[in-house]
Amino acid sequence: MSKLVTIYGGSGFVGRYIARRLAKEGWRIRVAVRRPNEALFVKPYGAVGQVEPILCNIRDEDSVRAAMQGADAVVNCVGILVNEGKNKFGAVQTEGAARVARLAAEQGIGQLVQISAIGADPESDSEYARTKAAGEKAVLDAYPNAVILRPSVIFGNEDGFFNKFAAMTRLTPVLPITGGKTKFQPVYVDDVAKAAVMGVNGKVAPGIYELGGPDTESFRTLITEMLESINRRRFVVSLPFWMAGILAGVFDLMQAVTGGLFVNRTLTRDQVKSLSADNVVAPDAKGFADLGIQPTAMEAVLPGYLWRFRPGGQYDAIKASAKNLRKSI
């Protein structure tokens, strides 16, 4: 019988790529999510019955335990960027990660892969970074042989980074950013999935791996390259941190006074704190080279999914060619 893996958050941006790769290798997959009816798109990743979304809330002990019952491996992809309702940084990224690791150890699960993030630091000013670090510690305390992956900002078809800013170009001639000089090392989502699959298959030594792509650029440069990819000109304004903090505070206040009816996914004060530190692979960290993976460059991927934000969409190249033809006549 083929092996079974449970992927917590398996319908999310990273999780779906891991599920797809494992399905191709013949694994049976449980995609543990809060809303299984919204994750039905993962079922065609494999043969009939091979990939199944199941109900699970990482904050609930019994559902987490049931989701990994009989599994040979577990992957935890659950993470949040903003506090929303009961899903707080601590509850999800620290307590949730600890719960998965502890129950995996109790059930004798063979492999555990935890998706964390570069910047995880118990001394950080950012709650996001502190809870990621606390989650890592809890995982290693309960399951010392875990594989922990720390990607930099992740790009790919469904990303919330380049897609977000590219969509903004349709609405405004100005793109405001915070931390224009902050360095990032964007990593392709399928490269992260490759690393996770190696961990599931037991082909990776336990420990922490920081995953960054071949390009290290400032935030401002990344936005400029995105604009070149979609053939648009916009004025990029790098807001000083004090100003960004004020704006973020206003958005956070709106979420608080509306009782969560408005969720601040624009810019939070915690994100401003995160943007004050570079998001790159540490010089002494283990990474893709230790996994035998050659990371994919942004220029090989971005045009393939950002084309829809070009002025002419899929016909942009045809329109440019027609203009050149008229000029030559």
Q: Are 307 and 167 in contact (CB under 8 A)?
A: no
pLDDT tens figures, 164-191: 999 999 999 999 999 999 999 999 999 9
Phi, psi (5° rounding) for residue 82? -140, 150
Neighbour tally for 26: CB within 10 Å:
11
What pLDDT does 2 receive?
Answer: 86
- Alpha-carbon distance of 324 to 74, in angstroms, equals 54
The per-residue pLDDT for range 253-272, each reduced to its tens digit, is 999 999 989 999 999 999 99
CA distance 38 to 11: 9
Phi, psi for residue 272 in degrees, rounded to 5: -60, -40
DSSP string, 172-185: -SEEEEE-TT-EE-
pLDDT of residue 324: 61
Residue-averaged pLDDT of the chain: 95
The region that residue 323 occupies, defined by phi over 0 for left and psi between -120 and 50 for alpha, beta otherwise, is alpha
* The pLDDT of residue 312: 78
The average pLDDT across 16-39 equals: 98
pLDDT value at residue 327: 58
β-bridge partners, 155: 188
pLDDT tops 70 at residue 58: yes
Q: Are strands 217-218 and 183-184 parallel, antiparallel or unpaired?
A: antiparallel
SS3 content of the chain, % helix, strand, coil (to 5): 45, 15, 40
Find the farthest-apart pair of alpha carbons in the chain and give their distance in angstroms, rounded: 75
**Structure confidence at residue 328 as a pLDDT band (50, 70, 90):** low
Is 53 buried (19+), middle (13-18) or exposed (0-12) by CB count in 10 A? buried
Per-residue model confidence as pLDDT tens digits over 196-220? 999 999 999 999 999 999 999 999 9
Considering only CA atoms, which of 57, 8, 62, 46 is closest in space to residue 30? Answer: 8
Q: Which two tokens stand for residue 181?
A: 């000089």
Q: How far, in Å, CA of 75 to CA of 246, rounded? A: 38
Write out the two tokens for 196. 């996770």
pLDDT at 316: 64
**% of the chain at pLDDT higher than 70:** 95
- Answer whether residue 313 shows pLDDT above 90: no
| pLDDT at residue 143 tops 80 | yes
Please state the rounded mean pLDDT for residues 66-83: 97
Interval 75-121: pLDDT, tens: 999 999 999 999 999 999 999 999 999 999 999 999 999 999 999 99
Torsion sign, CA atoms 288, 294, 299, 300: negative
Whether 48 and 59 have beta carbons less than 8 Å apart is answered as no
- What are the tokens at 275? 């943007």
**Nearest-angstrom CA–CA distance, 45 and 222:** 32
Q: Which domains does the chain have, with CATH numbers?
A: 4-158+185-214+279-295 (3.40.50.720)
pLDDT at 320: 59
CA distance 236 to 8: 37
3-state secondary structure of 87: strand
Which of the 8 DSSP states describes residue 286?
B
DSSP state of 91: I
Sorting pLDDT into bands at 50, 70 and 90, what band is 317?
Answer: low
Distance CA 131, CA 139 (A): 12
7, two tokens: 């992927």
pLDDT category, 323, cuts 50, 70, 90? low
- Other CB atoms closer than 10 Å to residue 289's CB: what's the count? 10
